[in-house]
């Protein structure tokens, strides 16, 4: 017990800044939701995202034992159902207590928000811990990691508080943990973490080709099986029970350009119907372009196996393809690539780090505005490109590897094939 307590205390000390920033995100997010409306907008209503309530209603179906109907329930769910299993126990509790929810009709003071709000923000803040662990693995100094963690908290805040999409943050957190495990040679753990990420939000498929490039042919099959299995198991019942509704949600992935943001590619997306602001287009087919682009990046990144910083930069580049190729953009889509880009920038010169962090903040603020179609798209994606360019190393030298130490032998660990594993210093 003493050893376990000591291990927990050591881990908390290593991640104390993500803990601090998580508490700040939680407190400021709830304060905004409960106080901004009455004190600033002078309306008798709390402020919260409608998206989180539709997701929460889908979680009720899990709690009711009707998992096969989650895509046919009219809640607008278009992602994989991993998050629903985390929300289902809370949904069962608030339902049992008779707490009110703001779905399907608007409720100005839904009492379930007092539990759901902190819970979904805590889920999303898992990404802060994963990104800090990745920065530590890349050899970023403690001082920079503190500033990096604060910046990450600011960047993720709108995704969790304004938009209510913890699944994007949680999935990226799992994917980053998986990448960190892969860099450390722990491939089984990396595979299952990628599986958890994909089961939560399939956007991490853009990260996976880079992981495959790092794994090599010998480990590729096992990594793919572990990454695919969780999502396949979760989708089996909905596909069997409501095949049409499930494939429509996951393949077509309806999105609404007149509610969100048009892009130069909106006219290429198949129209699904609707009138006025409710006109829907199929965002799913266009996302194949981003996946193919990510595969090309992964193929190119195979030559960077001894450059973890460049592999992480390749991950940020792959994630940016979602923003560059989407037929309909939503503000929180920009966060994953910005989050990883800032980690890469923390390994570069101070000037690059500072400019990139400020630029990422500017992109985040700009993404929340309602500019015209072309100004919004150019400003947001231009900022992302600038952050990526600032993250490119000026010198392409081979770095010295910092090898992980086996705690039992106190020697540099080797992988099963006898090669030393480690991350770049």
- pLDDT over 70 (residue 413): no
- pLDDT over 50 (residue 422): no
In a domain, 116, yes or no: no
pLDDT band at 415 (very low <50, low <70, confident <90, very high): very low
CA distance readout (Å), 166 to 39, 83, 101, 193: 26, 8, 18, 17
Q: What is the mean pLDDT of residues 350-377?
A: 92
User: 209 lies in which domain range?
Assistant: 2-46+126-400
Convert 75-103 to b/e letters by CB count within 10 Å (16 or more is b): bebbbbbbbbebbbebbeebeeeeeebbb
In this predicted model, what pLDDT tens digit does every residue of 378-389 receive, in sequence order? Answer: 999 999 999 999
* Torsions phi, psi for 282 (to 5 deg): -90, 110
Top mean pLDDT of 21-25, 181-185, 216-220 is at 21-25
In a domain, 413, yes or no: no
pLDDT for 397 equals 43
Q: What is the DSSP string of 154-214?
A: HHHHIIIIIS--HHHHHHHHHHHHHHHHHHTT-HHHHHHHHHHHHHH-GGGGGTHHHHHHH
Q: What is the mean pLDDT of residues 363-368?
A: 95
pLDDT for 15 equals 85
**Residue closest to 120 by CA, chosen among 33, 245, 40:** 33
Which percentage of the chain shows pLDDT scores above 70?
91
- Match 């707490």 to its residue by tokens: 99
Mean predicted lDDT score pLDDT of the chain:
89
- Provide the 8-state DSSP code for 257: T
- pLDDT over 80 (residue 10): no
In a domain, 75, yes or no: no
In a domain, 420, yes or no: no
Q: How many domains does the structure of the chain reveal? A: 1
pLDDT for 74 equals 87
Q: What is the mean pLDDT of residues 401-414?
A: 42
pLDDT for 4 equals 62
d(CA 170, CA 122) in angstroms, rounded, equals 10
d(CA 115, CA 93) in angstroms, rounded, equals 10
pLDDT for 7 equals 65
In this predicted model, what pLDDT tens digit does every residue of 307-331 receive, in sequence order? Answer: 899 999 999 999 999 999 999 999 9
pLDDT for 177 equals 97
- Provide the 8-state DSSP code for 104: S
In this predicted model, what pLDDT tens digit does every residue of 76-106 receive, in sequence order? Answer: 899 999 999 999 999 999 999 999 999 989 9
In this predicted model, what pLDDT tens digit does every residue of 221-252 receive, in sequence order? Answer: 999 999 999 999 999 999 999 999 999 999 99
In a domain, 356, yes or no: yes
pLDDT band at 390 (very low <50, low <70, confident <90, very high): very high
In a domain, 227, yes or no: yes
In this predicted model, what pLDDT tens digit does every residue of 125-145 receive, in sequence order? Answer: 999 999 999 999 999 999 999
pLDDT band at 371 (very low <50, low <70, confident <90, very high): confident
- pLDDT over 50 (residue 417): no
In this predicted model, what pLDDT tens digit does every residue of 169-217 receive, in sequence order? Answer: 999 999 999 999 999 989 999 999 999 999 999 988 899 999 999 888 8
Q: Read off the pTM.
A: 0.90
In a domain, 300, yes or no: yes
Q: What is the mean pLDDT of residues 22-48?
A: 95
Sign of the alpha-carbon torsion through 71, 74, 78, 79:
negative
In a domain, 422, yes or no: no
- pLDDT over 50 (residue 423): no
Q: Are strands 401-402 and 423-424 parallel, antiparallel or unpaired?
A: antiparallel
């Amino acid at each position: 017990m003493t050893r376990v307590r000591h291990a927990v205390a050591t881990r908390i000390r290593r991640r104390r800044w993500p803990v601090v920033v998580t508490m700040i995100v939680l407190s400021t997010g709830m304060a905004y939701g409960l106080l901004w409306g009455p004190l600033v907008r002078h309306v008798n209503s709390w402020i919260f995202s409608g998206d989180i309530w539709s997701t929460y209603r889908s979680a009720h179906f899990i709690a009711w034992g009707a998992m096969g109907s989650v895509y046919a329930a009219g809640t607008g769910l278009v992602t994989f159902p991993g998050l629903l299993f985390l929300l289902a126990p809370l949904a069962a509790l608030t339902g049992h207590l008779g707490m009110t929810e703001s779905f399907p009709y608007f409720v100005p003071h839904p009492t379930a928000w007092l539990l759901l709000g902190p819970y979904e923000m805590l889920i999303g803040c898992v990404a802060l811990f994963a990104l800090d662990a990745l920065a530590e693995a890349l050899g970023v100094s403690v001082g920079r990691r503190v500033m990096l963690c604060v910046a990450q908290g600011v960047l993720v805040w709108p995704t969790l508080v304004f938009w209510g999409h913890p699944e994007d943050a949680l999935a990226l957190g799992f994917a980053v943990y998986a990448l960190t495990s892969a860099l450390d040679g722990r491939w089984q753990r990396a595979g299952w973490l990628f599986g958890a990420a994909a089961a939560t939000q399939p956007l991490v498929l853009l990260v996976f080709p880079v992981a495959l490039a790092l794994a090599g042919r010998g480990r590729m099959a096992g990594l793919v099986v572990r990454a695919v299995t969780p999502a396949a198991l979760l989708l089996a019942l909905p596909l069997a029970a409501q095949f049409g509704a499930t494939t429509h949600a996951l393949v077509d992935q309806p999105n609404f350009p007149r509610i969100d943001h048009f892009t130069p590619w909106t006219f290429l997306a198949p129209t699904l119907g609707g009138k006025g602001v409710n006109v829907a287009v199929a965002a799913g087919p266009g996302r194949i372009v981003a996946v193919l682009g990510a595969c090309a990046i992964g193929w190119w990144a195979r030559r960077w196996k001894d450059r973890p910083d460049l592999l992480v930069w390749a991950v940020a580049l792959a994630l940016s393809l979602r923003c560059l190729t989407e037929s309909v953009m939503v503000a929180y889509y920009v966060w994953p690539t910005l989050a990883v880009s800032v980690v890469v920038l923390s390994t570069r010169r101070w000037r690059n780090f500072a400019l990139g962090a400020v630029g990422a903040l500017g992109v985040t603020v700009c993404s929340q505005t309602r500019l015209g179609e072309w100004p919004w798209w150019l400003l947001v994606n231009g900022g992302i490109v600038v952050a990526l360019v600032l993250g490119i190393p000026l010198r392409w030298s081979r770095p010295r590897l910092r090898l992980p130490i086996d705690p039992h032998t106190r020697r540099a660990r080797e992988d099963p094939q006898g090669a030393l594993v480690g991350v770049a210093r």
